[in-house]
Amino acid sequence: MATNPSTEGSDARARLIHREIVQLFQLGVLAVAAFFVTRALAASNRETTRRNGAEWYERGSHLAGVGDMDRAVQFFRRATVTNRHEPKYVLALADALARQHQPEPARAALLALRESMPEHPDVNLQLARLAAARHDVAEAVSFYHNTLYAPWRATDDERRRGVRLELVDFLLAHGHADGAIPELVALATDIPDEPATHLELGSRFASAGDWRNALAQFQSALRQSPRHPTALAGAGEAAFELGDYAIARRYFRSTHGLDASLSEKRELVELIIAGDPLAPRIGAAERRRRLAGNIAYATGRLAGCVPAGSDAAAGDAVRVLQARAQTIDRQLQSRAGAEMDTIEDGVELVGQMEAAARRECAAVLRDRALLIIAQRHGADRR
């Protein structure tokens, strides 16, 4: 029986197509298998690399802990090679380099990491400390602020407060009290209501010359610990600097026997309060008595500090002051005249006499008290 050529051709084409389909399927299976094998190998390599990085990091941390910074740097470098974007590896390397007195490589590593995570608080903090170490105030403040305003975890509040205190201390150490005060004011709204914390903040305000806020912090500490010697001394000193000598005396008296270093300032406050002729709520006789005593003392100091043989100009100035003192002393002995005007003029005169005497003699406590009294009532500005 004859075979139909067209049928044979169709069968051959069918077999060829079938074979090609089988081959394509086999290639597909091989490709899928190769993909999974490659992925498994890549995952295995990544895991190996991760383990190696973690191991080098741990070894570097151990070496850093025992002070072997040269070898620690080597291992931290190996760890960062495995993952240049792992913060703890780069931070550890930068810290080791800084401790090895290589600040520029440390800074370069941190800046490279910061490009991928600009708000990372620890990266910014290390950059701030590197800038602080080289006394670059502007850059240090910038990175400290980046640290403070980065997204912190809720559990990191205490650490964030510590960073702000670190910034405050840096600013104070570099004579930037005007920059430290706003940081302290911000910190005051975010501290635990505990005596130790108020004392810490009060001492910083005092160092910055912000005596009003310093007094508020010391008083907050005293509300919880009324006999705390440091808080009493701090509150007394703050009140003294603010010119509130009655409050200062109250706190200083409470420190009697607790802080010997305050004895001089305690005595000075007593002299100011007892010797001020313009103090409120004292009678006219007491005003005259105080001023007469101050004039007598200042006259004696002037005579002792500027002897008669001084140059002509100094001698003339002293004689003018002495003549004014005699005039006011006579007015004090008389009950006539505008008494408050006499008292005010007398306070001004005592200040001028003490200032003249101080140019020649070192001031003792009563001299300082009389000068403060004059300044307190604006006699030095008349």
Confidence of residue 359 (pLDDT cuts 50, 70, 90): confident
For 166-176, how does the pLDDT look when each residue is reduced to its tens digit (9 = 90+)? 999 999 999 99
Q: How far apart are CA 295 and CA 328, in angstroms?
A: 9
Residue 314 has pLDDT above 80, yes or no: no
- pLDDT computed for residue 58 by the predictor: 85
Least confident of 25-34, 44-53, 183-192: 44-53
Q: What is the DSSP string of 100-149?
A: TT-HHHHHHHHHHHHHH-TT-HHHHHHHHHHHHHTT-HHHHHHHHHHHHT
- pLDDT computed for residue 48 by the predictor: 53
From-to residues of CATH 1.25.40.10 in the chain: 194-273
In angstroms, what is the C-alpha Rg of the chain? 40
Q: Which CATH superfamily is domain 194-273 in?
A: Tetratricopeptide repeat domain (1.25.40.10)
8 Å CB contact between 250 and 273: no
Tokens of 20: 């090609």
Residue 104 has pLDDT above 90, yes or no: yes
Closest to 60 measured CA to CA, from 84, 83, 88, 85 = 88
Contacts with 4 (C-beta within 8 Å, 6 or more apart), sequence order: none
Contacts with 248 (C-beta within 8 Å, 6 or more apart), sequence order: 236, 237, 239, 240, 269
Confidence of residue 45 (pLDDT cuts 50, 70, 90): low
- pLDDT computed for residue 38 by the predictor: 62
